[in-house]
Amino acid sequence: KERMYSIVNTASVAGLRGTPAMVAYASSKAAVLSMTVSTSKDLAPHGIRVNAVSPALIGPGSMWDRQNELHAQSGSPYFATDPEVVAKNKIAGVPLKRLGTVTEVIQSVAFLLSDVSSYTTGTNLVIDGGMSSGLRC
């Protein structure tokens, strides 16, 4: 059996649907998704699979807290001015009604790196508690 290799890029749900007050971040993550698809086609003949993960609302932690602070300070009509309210509103929009964990992201990456996903390439695994269910880009 020929040895297969695997690359997993880190994108974001922001790259799929955009996020207010985060145009540079959302644009760069959309670019990661496009790069993943294109590279998967280039590298497949060489036995290299290329996929991406798109997490959203992972926490708690300093990144989660800082993002909510920045959204509260952004002046965007989509966000409250209190970071705690911003956080509560975001979680309320998740069908599973909780944050995802770093461990859940790691487990998803491990799946894509493993031989269990040996026929998977050029795909994006969304890890967002159902927040973007049905969205296809």
**Helix, strand, or coil (residue 137):** coil
**Helix, strand, or coil (residue 124):** strand
- CA–CA separation, 128 vs 104, rounded Å? 10
- In the DSSP assignment, the letter for residue 56 is -
Token duo for residue 19:
């996020």
Q: Would residue 25 show up in a list of annotated catalytic residues for this protein?
A: yes
Of 5, 25, 78, 119, the catalytic one is 25
* Residues recognised as catalytic: 25
